[in-house]
Amino acid sequence: MAELVLQVRGLRVLRDGVPVVDDVSFALPAESDTALVGPNGAGKSTVVAAVLGLLPRQAGDVRLLGQPLSPQGRWPRSVRTQVAYLPQSLAVEGRFPLTVRDFVGFGFDPAGPRWPWSGAAGRRQAIERALERTQCSALSARLISELSGGQWKRVQLAFCVVRPRRLLVLDEAQAGLDAPSSERFQQLLLDLRRQEGWTVLQVSHDLEMVRRSCDQVLCLNRQLRCSGSPDHALSAQRLAELYGPGYVPYQHHHAPLP
């Protein structure tokens, strides 16, 4: 039986006294790619935030690599460094004085206080390698505010891959990308997942991408409505139950990602 990287049991999160998500349970086997899908307001981002300890939870047991998330939303240090997270958007407005290389470097550094000159050589090598692996070497001196949407997403992957991790959590990582950029991002994510042994949890509205690249789908609408393989969870009947009877899925029939 595959190792379970993340286990969530009976998760409940209230907002203003009203449950946003309730009784959500799932597990992510090692090196799997799981999509969390559902309509707007279903609580997908809330589940992600609660699992990462960013939102208080009212009930539920969350374990990462067997270690429990504390009631205050803190991971033990040994497992906290094993998680990378990319939120929906980052506040990069106007001219932001941070180069791609410097940004990726912040993904390498530990969470606590650090003198800027400590471990400089190993840090530099790790940054170069991460940029190379995400096809971002040519962008290293660019400002992060000068990048296109697709480039910025690849740089964010470099930020994640700059040090070894076990779990990668993406919240609508491909939102706003055009089809070729989205395709390139997904292929890169797949390659890195295989090379790094990442377990991936991604919130997505792109059901075609989910169908082609994910191993497991969690259908959420405040509660977990169904879960399983893409063929099982994304059947027309289950999608109609999840999104409402008027929902008609449109299939592009792309070839599945290799």
Partner 1 sequence: MAAVEALPALLALPFMQRALLGGLLTGALGGLLGSVAVLRQLSFFSDALGHSALLGISLGILLGVNPTLVLVPFAVLFALLVNQLVQRSRLPTDALLNIVYSTSLALAVLALSLVDTYRGNIQPLLFGDILGISWPDLWVIAGLSVLALGYLIVSLRAQVLVILSDDLAGAFGVQISAHRLAFIVLLAVVVAVSIKAVGVLLISAFVVIPACAARLVSRRFSSYVLTSVLLGGSCAVLGLLGSGLTNLPSGPCVVVVQFAGFLLALLWSRLVVRT
Amino acid at 164: P
**Buried/exposed code over 190-218 (b: 16+ C-beta within 10 A; e: otherwise):** bebbeebebbbbbbbebbbbbbbbbebbb
Kindly state the smallest distance separating residue 114's Cβ from partner 1, in Å. 7
Nearest-approach distance from CB 255 to partner 1, in angstroms: 34
Applying CB under 8 A, does 232 fall inside the site for partner 1? no
- In degrees and rounded to multiples of 5, residue 28 shows phi and psi of -110, 110
Report if residue 246 touches partner 1, rule: CB under 8 A. no
Which residue number, 109 or 196, has a Cβ lying nearer to partner 1?
109
247: left (phi over 0), alpha (psi -120 to 50) or beta: beta
CB of 79 to partner 1, least distance (A): 11
Query: Please, where are the H alpha helices in 116-235?
Result: 120-133, 149-161, 179-196, 207-213, 230-233
Q: State in angstroms the smallest separation of the CB of 182 from partner 1.
A: 21
Q: Does 86 bind partner 1 (CB under 8 A)?
A: yes
- Per-residue binding string, partner 1, 126-145, x by CB under 8 A, is ---------------x-x--
Q: Are 84 and 158 in contact (CB under 8 A)?
A: no
From 23-31, 50-58, 218-226, 240-248, give the range in contact with partner 1 by CB under 8 A. 50-58
Residues 20-49 that bind partner 1 (CB under 8 A): 49
String of contacts with partner 1 for each residue 88-127, x by CB under 8 A: -xxxx-xxxxxx--xx--xx-xxxxxxxx-----------
CB nearer to partner 1: give 60 or 107: 107
For residue 5, count CB atoms less than 10 angstroms from its CB and return exposed for 0-12, middle for 13-18, buried for 19 or more: buried
- Say if CB 62 and CB 50 are below 8 A apart: yes
Write down how long the chain is: 258
Q: Report whether 187 contacts 133 (CB < 8 A).
A: no
Q: Which of 11, 62, 64, 83 binds partner 1 (CB under 8 A)?
A: 83
Instruction: Report in angstroms how near the CB of residue 249 gets to partner 1 at its nearest.
Output: 30
Would you tell me which residues interact with partner 1 (CB under 8 A)? 49, 52-54, 75, 77, 80-81, 83-87, 89-92, 94-99, 102-103, 106-107, 109-116, 141, 143, 169
